Amino acid sequence: MPEPLLVVELLALGCVVGFLAGLLGVGGGMMLVPFVTLILSNRGVDAGLAVKMAIATSMATILFTSLSSVRAHHARGAVRWDLVRTIAPGIVVGGLLTGAGIFAVVRGQWLALFFAAFIGTMATQMLLARAPHPGRTMPGPLGQGAVGGAIGLLSGLVGAGGAFLSVPFMTRGNVPIHQAVGTSAALGFPIALANTIGYVIAGWSLDGALPGSLGYLYLPALAIVSVASVMLAPLGAHVSHRMNVRQLKRVFALLLYALAAYMLHKGLQG
C-alpha cells in the first residue's frame, strides 16, 4: 500500500495532467515525467533509472487518459478518424521500435537531456504561436504514415502522447485547431499501447527498483494518476471548446522552461 503522502502527490499530479491533456492536447508527459522523476528520486531510485521509469509510467497512463479525452472530443465532432486511420500504423511501428529497442540501450541521463531539449523547444513553439501558411494541405497516406512513425518513435523517448508533434503537423496542414487536438487525443492510444508493450519487453528482466514496480513501470503511479487524470480530462476538453487558450499556453510555456531546467539538472547528474 503506497504511503499517504505519495497518494496525495500522485492524485494532485493526475488531476493537473488530465485537465491539461484535455484542454491543450499536450501536457501529459511533459508534466508527468519531471514530477514522477522527482518522486522516485526522493525515494532512493538512481537518477538514470528514475528518468526511465517516469517516462515509461507516463506513457502507460496515456492508455487511459486518451480514451477519456477522445470520447469528449468525438462527442463534439472534433476527431478526424480518416487521419487517425492513415497516421496510426506508422505510430505503432515507431512506438514498438523505441519501447522494445532504443529505450533499453539509451542511458537514462541522455534521455533526461533529450527530454529537457524537447520541452524547451515545445515551450518556445507555444510562445511563438506561428500561424500555418494558408495554402498548405495534409500529405497523402504514405506521407502521413511516415510522419506517424516519427511521432511514435520520438514519443516513446519522452513519454508523451505525441500531441507535441501531431498537433503542429495537422495545423500546419490547415486542419482546424480543435480538430487537431481531438485527433491527437485519438492518436494517443496507439502511441501509448505500442510503447508500453515495448517498455514491458525491454524491462522484463529488470529487478524491481521499488515495491510495486514492474520493469520500467511504477504501478502505484500508473493506477493513481490514471484514475485522477481520466476524471479531469473531459473537463479540460469541455473548457477547450469554450475559451481562447493562447494566454494559458503562454503561462504553460513558462512552466515548461522550469521543468526543462530540472530535467537538465538530472541529466547532468549522470
Number of domains in the chain: 1
Q: Provide the grid cell at 206.
A: 529488470
pLDDT tens digits along 133-149: 666 778 888 888 898 89
- List the domain range (segments joined by +) for residue 256: 4-269
Instruction: Please tell me which residue, 158 or 94, carries the higher pLDDT value.
Output: 94
Of 212, 194, 189, 178, the C-alpha closest to 98 is: 194
- Helix or strand run (H / E) with residue 213: strand 213-214
Residue 252 pLDDT grade (very low, low, confident, very high; cuts 50, 70, 90): low
Of 147, 132, 169, the C-alpha closest to 86 is: 147
**Structure confidence at residue 270 (pLDDT):** 57
Q: Which residues contact 182 (CB under 8 A, 6 or more apart)?
A: 25, 70, 73, 74, 76, 78, 79, 80, 237
**Structure confidence at residue 245 (pLDDT):** 60
pLDDT tens digits along 152-168: 888 887 777 777 778 77
Q: Provide the grid cell at 38.
A: 522527482
Lowest mean pLDDT among 84-88, 129-133, 139-143, 184-188: 129-133
Share of the chain above pLDDT 70, in %: 85
pLDDT over 90 at 86, yes or no:
yes
The mean pLDDT of 49-78, rounded to a whole number, is 83
pLDDT over 60 at 132, yes or no:
no
Of 152, 192, 149, the C-alpha closest to 62 is: 192
The mean pLDDT of 118-145, rounded to a whole number, is 75
Alpha carbons within 13 angstroms on the beta-carbon side of residue 40 total 34
pLDDT over 90 at 81, yes or no:
yes
User: Alpha-carbon distance 194 to 200, whole Å?
Assistant: 10
Q: Which alpha helices (DSSP H) does 76-162 contain, by range?
A: 81-97, 103-105, 108-128, 141-158
Of 150, 180, 172, the C-alpha closest to 89 is: 150
